[in-house]
Structure 1
Amino acid sequence: MTINVFISYDYTSDKEYASLLKAWAENDAEHFKNINFIDGSSDFSRESTKVNAFKNSISRRMNACDKILVLVGKETYKSDWCKWEIKKAEELELDFAAVNIEHANASPISLYGKGVKRARSFTEAAIESVLT
């Protein structure tokens, strides 16, 4: 059974980690053989005036998912988009997981009380353990 996982992250600061995660998934059958990552980024600019179109695009992607994985970077706790994605994931009753890119990074407050399975390091094994 394949698990569809929506990746939420601060686009400005952490897109390279989302790209790395997707590359691992494409090339590492040992850790991610039954996991399909769905990126939160879209064809719309995050500064776009078409906010509703952007939210609809993200919502469609999230609707196809079983879980949300929040990449907790240095700026994630300030990201309005991450806050919105977390709220949307709760509405869709997705399971929550998070991984700290660096151990000391602060989680968004909106993650608290969600029963988040948390990986404390950005490694394939740690991420796999919170998603399976």
Structure 2
Amino acid sequence: MAKKKVFVSYDHSEDLRYKDILRAWDANDNFDFEFDQRSPNVAIDSTQASAIKSALTTKMKEADYLLVIVGAKSASSKWMNWEISRAKESDTKLRLAAVKIVSTNTLPSGLSAVGSAAIATSFEHDKIITALNAANNSY
């Protein structure tokens, strides 16, 4: 079975440890997807943002899925909202899935429309895989 190519979107200042857990799971041969991660450490409206957006877009176009790690501050992350919006564009059109670190965390606005993403309500391997398998790109 081919591994799923997943682009992971997360709040780099708050939720890095969850990306690290995914990386550890990905090192296991039994894990069924691989992912790319980038860490934009500049403001989305800075002069350097266009180069980062271009690099992120290239990586997104190599993926089939966008997995959004939904932490406490994700809904207000400009970068995460940009990544979600970019993932929905016709030249990218990724399947959308999200995993809430805590079930009460608020989804970023691009994922909050009913049916726009498959949601895992806790950060567990099986629940994330189930959400990815249910993900679609009909938003």
The reply to whether TM is greater than 0.5 is yes
Cα pair 2:100 2:122 within 8 Å, conserved: yes
Which stretch of structure 1 is more off in the superposition, 47-56 or 64-73?
Answer: 47-56
Cα pair 2:5 2:62 within 8 Å, conserved: yes
Match of 2:33 in 1: 35
Match of 1:19 in 2: 20
Report the number of matched residues.
Answer: 127
Runs (4+) off by over 4 Å: none
User: 2-side partners of 1:117 and 1:18: how far apart?
Assistant: 18
User: 2-side partners of 1:50 and 1:84: how far apart?
Assistant: 15
SS in 1 for 2:42: coil
TM-score (norm 1): 0.89
TM-score (norm 2): 0.85
Give how far 1:85 is off.
0.1
Cα pair 2:42 2:48 within 8 Å, conserved: no
Q: CA RMSD in A?
A: 1.5
Matched residues, percent identical?
35
Match of 2:111 in 1: 111
Q: What do the CA deviations read for 1:9-45 (whole angstroms, capped 9, x no partner)?
A: 111101111111111111261xx2x311111325xx3
SS in 1 for 2:34: strand
More helix by share: 1
State the structure with bigger RCO (CA 8 A, min sep 6), 1 or 2. 1
